[in-house]
C-alpha cells in the first residue's frame, strides 16, 4: 500500500488506523524561518515562537506527536530531524509528557567530513576570518520507540493466573537451575530474544512484535553519521539525502513494512522506501511539492524490479 496524500497533516493523520505504521520518519518545519512553511511567528533568536493562528509551534507539534503515537505499532520506531537544540529540548519534553514514545538516541548528521562532495565549498565557511563561534555543519535526528512495553507482561500474567516461576522454569541454567531471565524481561531490564519469546508466547500469548521494537543492526553506524547533503534540491529547499533515509529504514523495518512521513515534501522518503522494498504513506500540504513527489516516484518506480 503506497499513499501520497495532499492535505493538512493533522487532518490526514486522523484517517490513519491505530497501530498500523512500522516506522515514522519525519522532517518537520524547524520554526527557524527557512521558508514560508518554516515560520510560526518566530523571533530573531528562532526558539521563542509567538502564537500563530491561535496555536504556537510547540502546541501544534504536540498534537502531531500525539497522533503519531496513536498510529505507530508497538514494534515500531519514531525518528525526526531538527537543528535547533532549544527547540528540540522543548519538543522532547512534550513527547515525554504527552506520548508513550521512549527516547533512545540522539544522532548527529555530520555534513562536513574528509571526502564529502562539498568539502571544498564547506571549508570556505570554516576558514572565514573573524569567526567568534563554530559554523553549524550538522543536523540532528532523534530516535524513539514505544515506552514500557514490558508492563503488558505482568498484566497478562496476572489475568491468566500464571506464576512467574512457571515461565522461568521453561529455560534453565546449564546446571539445571532456575534463573531470573523472565523477571528481567518483565521488569524491563531485557528484551525477549528468539529463545525466550517461546515460553512467553506459550504462557502469555505475546509475540516478538508485541514486546520488542524492530532493530536490525546494519553494522555500519554509531551515533554520528556522515552523509553528503542533497545539493540538487529538486524544487524543495531542505530535502534529506536518500541514503540517509534508507539507513534509518534498513535499521528499523523489514521488506513490506509501512513507513509514514506526514511532512512529505518532495517525496524523498517515498523514494527511499521504493528502493528498499518498503511501503510508504506520505502526507504533504503544498500542492507544488506533491507534484514534484509524484514525478519523482513515477521515475523511480519505472526502473525498479519489484
Q: What is the pLDDT of residues 5-15, one digit of tens each?
A: 999 999 999 99
What's the pLDDT score for residue 46?
A: 45
86 vs 156, higher pLDDT: 156
Q: Is the dihedral angle over the CA atoms 225, 226, 232, 237 positive or is it negative?
A: positive
User: Which positions ≥6 away from 101 have C-beta within 8 Å?
Assistant: 65, 69, 78, 95, 144, 145, 146, 147
Task: With a cut of 80, say whether residue 40 has pLDDT above it.
Answer: no
Q: Does residue 38 have a pLDDT over 90?
A: no
Give the SS3 label for residue 154.
Answer: helix
- What pLDDT is recorded for position 235? 67
Beta-bridge partner residues of 140:
82, 108
For residue 33, the model assigns a pLDDT of 66
Per-residue pLDDT, averaged over 86-97, amounts to: 94
C-beta atoms surrounding 20 within 10 Å: 15
Q: Mean pLDDT across the stretch 83-87? A: 90
Instruction: Tell me which CATH code domain 3-148+213-301 carries.
Output: 3.40.50.150
Residue recorded with cell 541514503? 243
pTM, two decimal places: 0.91
Distance of CA 191 to the CA centre of its chain: 20
Residue of 264, 251, 1 whose CA lies nearest to 105: 251
pLDDT band of residue 239 (cuts 50, 70, 90) is confident
- Over its C-alpha atoms, the chain yields an Rg (Å, rounded) of 22
Average pLDDT over residues 280-288: 95
CA angle centred on 103, ends 28 and 69, rounded to 5°: 60
The least confident of 26-35, 158-167, 205-214, 266-275 is: 26-35
Q: What are phi and psi of 70, to 5 degrees?
A: -65, -40
d(CA 28, CA 78): 13
- Give me the DSSP letters along 242-278: HHHHHHHHHHH--TT-EEEESS-TTSHHHHHHHHTT-
Beta bridge mates, 128? none
Q: Which of 35-39, 43-47, 217-221, 228-232 has the lowest mean pLDDT?
A: 43-47
Q: What band does 306 get if pLDDT is binned at 50, 70 and 90?
A: low
- Extended beta strands in the chain, E state: 3-6, 21-26, 72-82, 101-110, 138-146, 224-226, 258-261, 279-284
Could you identify the residue written with the cell 497501530?
A: 19
Judge contact between 191 and 211, C-beta under 8 A: yes
Query: How many residues in total does the chain contain?
Result: 306
User: Among 172-176, 203-207, 229-233, which stretch is predicted with the lowest mean pLDDT?
Assistant: 229-233
Residue with cell 536518500: 242
Report CA-CA distances (Å) from 108 to 69, 141, 244.
24, 6, 12
- Cβ atoms of 263 and 27 within 8 Å: the answer is yes
Half-sphere exposure of 142 (CA within 13 A, CB side): 23
Q: What is the dihedral of CA 43, 49, 55, 61, to 10 degrees?
A: 140
Distance from C-alpha of 203 to C-alpha of 8, rounded to nearest angstrom = 44
Between vectors from CA 271 to CA 266 and to CA 274, what angle results, nearest 5°? 150
In what order do the strands lie in the sheet containing 224-226? 3-6, 279-284, 258-261, 21-26, 72-82, 138-146, 101-110, 224-226
Amino acid at each position: 500500500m503506497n499513499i501520497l496524500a495532499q492535505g493538512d497533516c493533522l487532518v490526514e493523520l486522523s484517517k490513519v488506523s491505530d497501530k498500523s505504521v512500522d516506522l515514522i520518519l519525519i522532517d518537520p518545519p524547524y520554526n527557524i524561518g527557512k521558508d514560508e512553511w518554516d515560520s510560526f511567528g518566530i523571533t530573531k533568536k528562532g526558539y521563542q515562537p509567538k502564537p500563530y493562528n491561535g496555536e504556537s509551534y510547540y502546541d501544534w507539534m504536540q498534537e502531531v506527536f500525539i497522533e503519531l503515537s496513536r498510529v505507530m505499532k508497538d514494534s515500531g520506531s519514531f525518528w525526526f530531524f531538527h537543528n535547533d537544540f532549544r527547540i528540540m529540548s522543548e519538543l522532547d519534553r512534550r513527547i515525554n509528557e504527552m506520548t508513550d514514545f521512549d527516547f533512545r538516541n540522539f544522532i548527529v548528521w555530520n555534513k562536513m567530513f574528509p571526502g564529502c562532495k562539498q568539502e571544498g565549498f564547506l571549508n570556505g565557511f570554516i576558514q572565514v576570518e573573524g569567526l567568534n563561534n563554530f559554523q553549524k555543519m550538522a543536523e540532528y535526528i532523534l530516535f524513539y520507540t514505544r515506552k514500557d512495553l514490558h508492563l503488558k507482561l505482568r498484566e497478562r500474567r496476572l489475568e491468566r493466573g500464571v506464576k512467574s516461576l512457571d515461565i522461568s522454569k521453561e529455560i534453565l541454567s546449564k546446571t539445571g537451575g532456575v534463573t531470573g531471565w523472565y523477571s528481567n524481561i518483565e521488569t524491563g531490564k531485557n528484551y525477549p530474544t528468539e529463545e525466550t519469546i517461546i515460553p512467553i508466547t506459550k504462557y502469555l500469548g505475546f509475540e516478538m512484535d508485541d514486546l520488542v521494537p524492530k532493530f536490525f543492526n546494519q553494522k555500519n553506524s554509531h551515533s554520528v553519521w556522515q552523509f553528503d547533503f542533497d545539493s540538487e534540491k529538486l524544487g524543495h529547499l531542505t530535502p534529506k539525502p536518500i541514503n540517509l533515509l534508507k539507513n534509518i529504514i534498513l535499521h528499523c523495518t523489514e521488506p513490506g513494512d509501512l513507513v509514514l512521513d506526514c511532512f512529505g515534501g518532495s517525496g524523498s522518503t517515498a523514494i527511499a522506501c521504493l528502493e528498499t522494498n518498503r511501503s510508504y504513506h506520505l502526507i504533504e500540504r503544498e500542492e507544488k511539492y506533491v507534484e514534484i513527489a509524484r514525478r519523482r516516484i513515477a521515475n523511480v518506480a519505472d526502473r525498479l524490479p519489484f
